[in-house]
Amino acid sequence: MTAASGAGGVMPQHKRRELIRELISSRAIETQSDLRDLLASRGCAVTQATLSRDLTALNARRTARGYELDDATRASPLLAELVTSIDDNGSLVVVHTAPGAASAVALAIDRAKLPEVLGTIAGDDAIFLAPRRDAGTTRVVRRLRELVSR
C-alpha cells in the first residue's frame, strides 16, 4: 500500500484513489498540481510520483478538458455488485459473477486494459482470464480485486 505523505497525513491507498476519482468526476482538473492542491485541501498530501501512479492505476487520462476517467473506471462500483469471486489455479484466473453478468464484467475488464491480462472468455456467470506470460495469476487476481473494489 502506498501512503500519502506530508503535513496532510497518511491516507490509505484505496481511500485516496476513491477521493481522486470523486474529484475528477466532479470538476475539471487541468493539471496534476491542481489535483495535488485539491487533495491537500482535503487532508491528503501526496508526492507527484504517488499521484502519477494513482492516476495510472485509475486509468485517468489527460484531455483538452482536463483529467478524465475511462468507462471501466466509472463502471467499477457496479462491478463490485456483479463479481462474486475471483480465484486462480496457477495458470488461469476465474471470475464468477451474478447470473448473466459475465459478458458485461469481461467487457469492463477488457476496457480497463490491464497490462497483466492477455485476454478474457466469458460465459453466463464465469470469466476465464489468461494472464500474460510474465504476469502470473497472483498479480492478475490482485489487480482484478483492485479494479472491482474501486
Domain segments of the chain as ranges: 13-69, 78-149
Q: What is the DSSP string of 93-146?
A: EEEEESTT-HHHHHHHHHHHT-TTEEEEEE-SSEEEEEEPTTT-HHHHHHHHHH
- CA 2 to chain CA mean position, Å: 14
Cβ proximity of 140 and 114 under 8 Å: yes
Q: Domain 13-69, CATH 3.10.580.10 — does that match?
A: no
CA–CA gap between residue 66 and residue 64 (Å, rounded): 6
Least confident of 23-27, 84-88, 127-131: 23-27
* Amino acid 9: pLDDT: 59
pTM of the model: 0.54
Rounded to the nearest 5°, which phi and psi values hold at 101?
-100, -5
Lookup result for grid cell 463479481 = 83
Mean pLDDT over the full length of the chain: 85
Cell of 94: 476465474
Looking at the domain 78-149, which fold is it?
A: Gyrase A; domain 2 (3.30.1360)
Question: CA 139, 58, 80, 91: dihedral to nearest 10 degrees?
Answer: -20
pLDDT digits (tens, 9 = 90+) for 130-149: 999 888 899 999 989 888 87
